[in-house]
Amino acid sequence: MSQNYQGLFQDWEIAVAKKLVDEFQGKWTCLEQEDFDDLLQECLTKWFFTKDDYNPSRETTQKTFMGRIIRNKLTDLVREREADKRKINYLTVSLDEPVGNDENAPTLIDKIDECVIADAPTDPFLEIQLKIDLPKVLKKLAPHQKKLCRLLGEKGFTVKEASEYLKTPRSTIYGELKRIRTIFMKEGLEDYIK
């Protein structure tokens, strides 16, 4: 896409939006991990659909009007992200939850054990130790990290597919994967994750 979004916006409009997105990303931790271009695009989309509402008799300048629209959009995004963070704390996935609709379906912990142990050495002692260590490590993962592991591992999603499914930027997914790897590394289980 060209610098001015194929002529949809003037340079000053893009500059105002970039300045405000940068300001909000620096101020709000919930927006730090968001992709700058994604936020910019959301703000410019909002502006595109509301700029015709500008009334010179009510507003000082079109730039001031745009600034207010973009600030409101970014404030709404901050509220959404903060609410999502609070919501995720209450979402849990039981490791005893069956995977699939069949009444004899294996549980999530069984599936995780199968995946991990399939790649592990065939030493029975290591298998037993892993079955002891794995639940401890999984307890240290946040609910959204467990969900991400399930999408990428069990369901075979790519990072891009997980990003689209969770409606989360890929940069956030990569950050979560890094944190998950760190948790496994601290427990000495880094050989068991991809």
The total number of structural domains in the chain stands at 2
- pTM of this prediction exceeds 0.75: no
116 and 64 within one domain: no
* Least trusted range by pLDDT, from 39-53, 61-75, 83-97, 124-138: 83-97
113 and 188 within one domain: yes
Q: What is the DSSP letter of 51?
A: G
Q: Would you say residue 96 lies in a domain? A: no
What residues make up the domain containing 63? 11-88
Contact in structure between 43 and 37 (CB atoms under 8 Å): no
Tell me the pLDDT of the chain averaged across its residues. 79
162 and 116 within one domain: yes
pLDDT tens string 101-126: 676 777 766 666 555 545 545 556 55
Q: Would you say residue 137 lies in a domain? A: yes
141 and 184 within one domain: yes
User: Helices 36-50 & 62-88, crossing angle to 10 degrees?
Assistant: 130
121 and 188 within one domain: yes
CA 10 vs CA 63, 92, 102: distances in Å:
11, 46, 57
71 and 43 within one domain: yes
68 and 40 within one domain: yes
* CATH code of the domain covering residue 168: 1.10.10
Q: End of a domain among 38, 58, 88?
A: 88
Q: Would you say residue 47 lies in a domain? A: yes
Task: Give mean pLDDT, residues 68-86.
Answer: 85
